[in-house]
Amino acid sequence: MPERPGIKDIEAEDVGLPIYPGTETLYARQYSWGKQNRVDRMATLASDDAPDKIIKWYRDKLGDEAQVERRELKSGGRRARISLFDPRTQILKSVSVTWTAQEPGVATNVRIGLTVRTLGKKP
């Protein structure tokens, strides 16, 4: 049976990724798996800005080596994921921008998911 993580509330600023200006923090938490030597810090933010503006902002913050993947969701929404893995530190930084469009060209319900996963080395 997998180990259940230790969970604690944290501030969005403690996740380890920049906070997009003008967002509302919906939640922020840290999950720790002691035996796996892994820690995940996550936050979900809400914004009224255009998704492409948010994606560009995070792409600029994470740098040229960050990968950007876009996809359409079965729910009719869209998601872009910007991620960067540092093999030296074993840290994965990931930003997920998800939105729906109720009218052509108008994005609504924009959510930004921030995740920093410290994989660590097994003892």
Q: What angle do CA 51, 47, 32 make, to 5 degrees?
A: 100
Element (H, E) at 32: strand 24-33
Given this model, what pLDDT does residue 101 score?
72
Q: What residues does each domain of the chain span?
A: 6-118
Q: What is the mean pLDDT of residues 73-84?
A: 90
Given this model, what pLDDT does residue 77 score?
86
| pLDDT tier for residue 34 given thresholds of 50, 70 and 90 | confident
pLDDT at 122 over 60: no
Given this model, what pLDDT does residue 107 score?
60
What are the φ/ψ torsions at residue 24 (nearest 5 degrees)?
A: -105, 130
What pTM value is reported for the model?
A: 0.85
